[in-house]
Amino acid sequence: MKITGIETFVVSNGFTPPRAWHFCAIRTDAGLTGYSEFGSDGLSRGLVGLVQDLGQRLIGKDPTAVEKHYLDLYRAVRQAPYGATQQAIAGIELALWDLAGKALGVPVYKLMGGPHRERQWVYWSHLATYRANNWKLLGAKPLRSLQDLADVAREAPARGYTVFKTNIIWPGDPARAISQGRLGPHDQVATRDIVKQAVAQIGAMREAVGPEIGICLDINVNFKPSEAIRVGRALEPYDLFWLEIDNQDPQALAQLKSSVRPPICSGEQLQTMRQYRPYFELHAMDVVKVDVQWQGFSAAKKVADLAETYELNIAPHNYNGHLSTFQSLNLCASVSNVRIMESDPEQTPYRDELFTALPEIASGHMKIPTAPGWGTELNEKAAKKYEWTG
Ligand SMILES: [Mg+2]
């Protein structure tokens, strides 16, 4: 089997403001196509160009030597590592794993010696957050009051989820959230208003769902560690499942972790063992966020394996299309140290149209897929229909 072509698809998720989902398709002379979902929002033209630049090196080669190809791509652009470079390599590498699994007729986790599990515990992510701007699209009621936020929280247990994650939200007309897409104050300061709102919101949500439901709060890149400490301390009475923060200094994160009671989840923006290792050495996080779409499958698995040697569990970062979910489920089935996995039950209504198989969810758990490769494929016709145009 030889690689004959590499194609990318960029799809709008329909949100206001729109976000882009990226897919890669690798064609072969055997008639098999390998698919991947990869990359982060805001880099679409660059990612497409990088995949084209890197992908041409693989034309005519056997796709199943995945690790070899990964290392060759890594070596080729070693002077500009991480970031979008790594995301583009991931786009290619993930599609190669899909082909390797399909060529042998097995799911990718079988190539890793899995499955470690038949189903994966997941949490409802971006609960209420997505409704702040997109309540109409999602067919939900607007978030006008604290009571509305409490009502959304109740929907998680009602739909079988035992853990959910949210962001700091000001209900109103329009409601406002600070998250990754909607950044907080320029100087990363947790103002009195922000801390007050976090306490009011999480307090109301805790009262609504009772003590048994896990609540995570993601403050993303929005606060300096000293500011995040104030948020974390103010929320101590509400028994958070975790406080999530993205941070670029391992010692600062370690300081944060030792200064607040809630467990700290971090790491989604880190790529490969080299970037995680300084954080692990300081035990700077309690739960390790690992993004398959941003670093590739074997890089993510190696991070999970390294985390195991520091007595840490991972939590796959997963908020895009269903292919991303299937890739992340394959990771969970390939390792023994998973805390819980992220999932977005609420997304643009046409998300289901974009994939040939959908996640199977029951009682807050997702079934580990059993079909060859990732277990789902991109519907290319639908991807063209909802093409992202910038
Ligand atoms: Mg996060």
- How crowded is residue 363: how many other Cβ atoms within 10 Å of its Cβ? 10
**CATH assignment, 119-374:** 3.20.20.120
Pairwise CA distance, residues 47 & 41, whole Å: 10
Under DSSP, the state recorded for 27 is E
pLDDT band of 390, cuts 50, 70, 90? confident
Find tokens 């978030």 and name the residue: 143
Residue 98 in contact with residue 371, Cβ under 8 Å? Answer: no
Pairwise CA distance, residues 156 & 230, whole Å: 27
Residue 295 in contact with residue 272, Cβ under 8 Å? Answer: yes
155-170 mean pLDDT = 98
Closest CA to 241 of 208, 221, 211, 198: 211
pLDDT band of 181, cuts 50, 70, 90? confident
0.75 exceeded by the pTM? yes
Closest CA to 82 of 384, 295, 225, 349: 295
Give the Å distance between the CA of 247 and the centre of ligand 1.
11
Give the Å distance between the CA of 1 and the centre of ligand 1.
39
- The pLDDT assigned to 179 comes to 85
Give the Å distance between the CA of 152 and the centre of ligand 1.
20
The length of the chain, given as a count of residues: 390
Pairwise CA distance, residues 264 & 157, whole Å: 23
Whether the per-residue pLDDT at 180 is higher than 80: the answer is: no
- The pLDDT assigned to 384 comes to 98
Which stretches within the chain are classed as H helix?
44-55, 66-76, 83-104, 108-111, 129-134, 146-158, 192-209, 225-234, 250-259, 272-281, 292-295, 297-309, 322-332, 380-385
Give the Å distance between the CA of 390 and the centre of ligand 1.
24
- The pLDDT assigned to 183 comes to 80
146-172 mean pLDDT = 98
Q: Write the pLDDT tens digit of every residue in 343-382.
A: 999 999 999 999 999 999 999 999 999 999 999 999 999 9
- The pLDDT assigned to 308 comes to 98
pLDDT band of 184, cuts 50, 70, 90? confident
108-124 mean pLDDT = 98
- The pLDDT assigned to 185 comes to 85
Whether the per-residue pLDDT at 18 is higher than 90: the answer is: no
Residue 299 in contact with residue 276, Cβ under 8 Å? Answer: no
- The pLDDT assigned to 16 comes to 87
Give the Å distance between the CA of 245 and the centre of ligand 1.
7
- The pLDDT assigned to 278 comes to 98
Q: Write the pLDDT tens digit of every residue in 85-106.
A: 999 999 999 999 999 999 999 9
Give the Å distance between the CA of 343 and the centre of ligand 1.
12
Give the Å distance between the CA of 310 and the centre of ligand 1.
21
Q: Write the pLDDT tens digit of every residue in 48-81.
A: 999 999 999 999 999 999 999 999 999 999 999 9
Give the Å distance between the CA of 219 and the centre of ligand 1.
7
Give the Å distance between the CA of 58 and the centre of ligand 1.
33
pLDDT band of 336, cuts 50, 70, 90? very high
Give the Å distance between the CA of 220 and the centre of ligand 1.
5
Give the Å distance between the CA of 320 and the centre of ligand 1.
13
Residue 168 in contact with residue 177, Cβ under 8 Å? Answer: yes
Q: Characterize the bridge pairing of strands 242-244 and 214-218.
A: parallel
The ranges assigned to domains in the chain are 3-110, 119-374
Give the Å distance between the CA of 244 and the centre of ligand 1.
6
For domain 3-110, the CATH architecture is 2-Layer Sandwich (3.30)
Give the Å distance between the CA of 183 and the centre of ligand 1.
13
Give the Å distance between the CA of 70 and the centre of ligand 1.
26
Q: Write the pLDDT tens digit of every residue in 242-281.
A: 999 999 999 999 999 999 999 999 999 999 999 999 999 9
Give the Å distance between the CA of 277 and the centre of ligand 1.
19
Contacts of 280 (CB under 8 A, 6+ apart): 288, 306, 307, 310, 312
Give the Å distance between the CA of 315 and the centre of ligand 1.
10
pLDDT band of 109, cuts 50, 70, 90? very high
Give the Å distance between the CA of 163 and the centre of ligand 1.
15
Whether the per-residue pLDDT at 182 is higher than 90: the answer is: no
| DSSP one-letter string for 258-299 | HH-SS-EEE-TT--HHHHHHHHHHTT--SEEEE-HHHH-HHH
Domains 3-110 and 119-374 share a fold: no
- The pLDDT assigned to 17 comes to 84
Mean pLDDT across the chain, nearest whole number?
97
Give the Å distance between the CA of 104 and the centre of ligand 1.
35
